[in-house]
Structure 1
Amino acid sequence: MYRQIALLLIGILIGSTFTMYFQGRDIESREPERVIRVGALRAIYHEIYLIKGLGLDEYVPAEVEVKIYPHGTAMMTAFQAGELDIMYVGTVPAMNAFSAGAKIKVIAGTNLGGTSLVVNKSSGIKRLKDIKGKKILVPGPHNFQDVVLRAIILPRANLTEEDIIIEYEGDKGMMIHRLVSGEADAAIVWEPHVTRMLFDENMNRRENIEVLVPWNEIISEDPSKGYRYSSSCLVVGEEFLRENEDLVRAWVLIHALAIEYWKRNPKKASEIISREMERIAQVSISPEMVEEAFKRVRLSLDPAIDSMKLFSEKSHELGFSKEKVDVEKLYYPEIQREV
């Protein structure tokens, strides 16, 4: 099974057309008693949408069930309840859960960058210090964006949590509406929702919305360094890994193949992600908007371990995790190294 999927990957790496490697090859027989329950967010950089759209999951001998969550904290709660096996989840919720005793491993990265702080111009926010006293929307409690706002952006503005109003809004459609209408002053969120705030559904630029802290100035104000953070990662339950290492290895391979496909076919990949996000996650977003959103995020196998260590420290300082996570114990690089 691994060799068959590896051949697909090698085919792309040496420049052969993608479809050649599907023609004439037997898809592994599904084993109905084996199931992979995959969790994801409504994020363009969660490779599950490309995997499903390209049919790569058909090369894994198990039924694949996909479940969508509003934010990473909710997803990790579902994992703890025994509902998931593999997760495309925020690094901070994963580390917080690990700190609380969750038996998980990070097995690969998913993206670099992708988070921005967006403001409504009518709020009067022109500089970072102007967010004082303003209402800022965050996707969920104790997630990546929550930590970025509290532990990085506020100190950069010489402000504290008491200086702003934080409201959690898990419904991204409502978050966009509240920001655009002026009910909220700012929002910190991931792609493609940053782009959905900046443009209407016809790709007309909204004049009253702008980015205050861009995706590549999150962990550093130097754009050449500020994007090197992994806001989410590929996570597996330890028990599932132990009992189904063949499936996990196969999944990492098709995950890597999806990333390589995006690198070599960005326009087509955007079309596929657009279609699959609507089908799987009920998010209506045009291929043009997906393509625009990818200007602010990159798919990557790199889990950006240094950034994980940074956010582990920040999350612990905020009291979101019981202890500072030893990222080296959380990260299981063996399968990724094979890829």
Structure 2
Amino acid sequence: MKKLFALLIFAALSLLLAACGNSDEQAAGNDGSKEITIGYFPNINHVAGMVAEEKDMYSETLPEGTKVNYKYFPDGSAFMTAIETGEIEGGLVGPGPAMNHYISGAKINVVAAGSTGGTVIMARKGSDIKNPEDLVGKTFISPGVGCTHDVQFETMMKEEYGVTSKRIGGEMKHVTGKPATYSSMFQAGNVDAATVPEPWASVIEAKGSGKVLVNTPDVAYGNTLPAAVFVTSQDLVKNNPDMVQSIVDAHKKATKFIQENPEEAKTIAIDKIKEITDQDLSKSVIDNAWERINFTYEIDGKTLQDFATSSYELEFLKDKPNLDGLVNTSFIK
């Protein structure tokens, strides 16, 4: 009887160990390979993502056999949800969504920057808007409520001109939409002004549907705020720092490539934006947009904290934010 009982226990343990072995094998792939997904937006501020994909730079820094997938996002909220659910391992997003989700409890880290600059305030042709004060009673568009470009614009309007949106009892109406559609919305007369990430401001200029009202250096945090940050989960940082280092190393390689090979990087950007958005951008549009952006992976936590405070003062956040622990620069040193 005891012998039979021992045999049963042994059989049960064998099945359990076999099941565990099969589960691990499936997670890693039948050939032992790993699989990760990187996300970014079809904006000029995210060219490092495009270059890294085109040049297969993640495969160069990750362990041999790692399969790298890419996912493209229309807005920061969708990107952050993908990070939090593990749909993607990392990628580029605006600092606004990263900051907002962190404050709301998301376990994430900003491990690098992607670029600075690139936000432009545009006025619709025929809107009779000659300066920012003329935006009283007008409708403006941004990619999202409380997104990076929205906060930059509303901070400037409040601090420099005393004009706010109806959301906080002011005079401007706010709507949201994809930046690639802004030029057509201007042409249709649906909105009066836009806070626009490049290259879409240069598209509006090229099509003649609008004009620059406030250029990048004069928008709040215009040349100092990271226009894109590289985000991953705290879980990945804690449990697989080697993977995070490999991912950041590829991002750094892509950024250095942009700095050293701007013309080839522009071609990559034109092709990828066409592939993702079906928008044909001319070389002149990209050249114009490029002048407003600085590509860097260096990240300054203080600038993000100041930006977060501005978001709170605009009532996008209920509580005064504390971003301690959000930025982790150990992977870019």
Contact 1:52 1:276 in 2 (8 A): no
Contact 1:111 1:303 in 2 (8 A): no
Q: What residue identity is the alignment partner of 1:209? A: G
Residue 174 of structure 1 is matched in structure 2 by 181
| 1:146 correspondence with 2:145 | no
Change in Cα spacing, 1:242 to 1:294, as seen in structure 2 (3 Å) is: same
Residue 327 of structure 2 is matched in structure 1 by 331
Contact 2:53 2:70 in 1 (8 A): no
Which deviates more from structure 2 when the two are superposed, residues 127-136 or residues 155-164? 155-164
Contact 2:92 2:230 in 1 (8 A): yes
Distance in 2 of aligned mates of 1:209 and 1:318: 27
What are the superposed Cα offsets for residues 147-179 of structure 1, whole Å, 9 maximum, x if unpaired?
12223323322112121111111x333222102
Shift of 1:322: 4.6
Distance in 2 of aligned mates of 1:31 and 1:159: 60
Contact 2:153 2:220 in 1 (8 A): no
What are the superposed Cα offsets for residues 98-147 of structure 1, whole Å, 9 maximum, x if unpaired?
01110000100111111011011311100110011111011112211121
Distance in 1 of aligned mates of 2:271 and 2:40: 16
Which TM-score applies when normalising by structure 2? 0.83
* Matching of residues 1-339 of structure 1 within 5 Å: 33-46=33-46, 47-59=48-60, 60-61=62-63, 62-161=66-165, 162-169=170-177, 171-200=178-207, 206=208, 208-219=209-220, 226-337=222-333
Q: What residue identity is the alignment partner of 1:180? A: Q
Distance in 2 of aligned mates of 1:172 and 1:312: 23
Distance in 2 of aligned mates of 1:245 and 1:286: 40
Change in Cα spacing, 1:322 to 1:31, as seen in structure 2 (3 Å) is: farther
Which TM-score applies when normalising by structure 1? 0.81
Distance in 1 of aligned mates of 2:108 and 2:38: 14
Change in Cα spacing, 1:55 to 1:31, as seen in structure 2 (3 Å) is: farther
Q: What residue identity is the alignment partner of 2:50? A: Y
Residue 25 of structure 1 is matched in structure 2 by none
Shift of 1:317: 2.5
User: Secondary structure at 2:45's aligned position in 1?
Assistant: coil
Contiguous gaps of at least 5 residues in structure 2: 1-29
Distance in 2 of aligned mates of 1:230 and 1:153: 20
Distance in 2 of aligned mates of 1:71 and 1:44: 14
Distance in 2 of aligned mates of 1:301 and 1:312: 20
Contact 2:153 2:219 in 1 (8 A): no
Distance in 1 of aligned mates of 2:69 and 2:237: 17
Contact 1:37 1:83 in 2 (8 A): yes
Q: What residue identity is the alignment partner of 1:279? A: E
Distance in 2 of aligned mates of 1:37 and 1:324: 33
Larger radius of gyration: 2
Shift of 1:78: 2.8
Contact 1:100 1:321 in 2 (8 A): no
User: Secondary structure at 1:166's aligned position in 2?
Assistant: strand
Q: What residue identity is the alignment partner of 1:189? A: V
Contact 1:40 1:67 in 2 (8 A): yes
Contact 2:299 2:329 in 1 (8 A): no
Which deviates more from structure 2 when the two are superposed, residues 260-269 or residues 279-288? 279-288
Contact 2:39 2:88 in 1 (8 A): yes
User: Secondary structure at 1:211's aligned position in 2?
Assistant: strand
Shift of 1:253: 1.3
Distance in 1 of aligned mates of 2:273 and 2:32: 26
Contiguous gaps of at least 5 residues in structure 1: 1-29, 201-205, 221-225
Q: What residue identity is the alignment partner of 1:88? A: L
User: Secondary structure at 2:281's aligned position in 1?
Assistant: coil
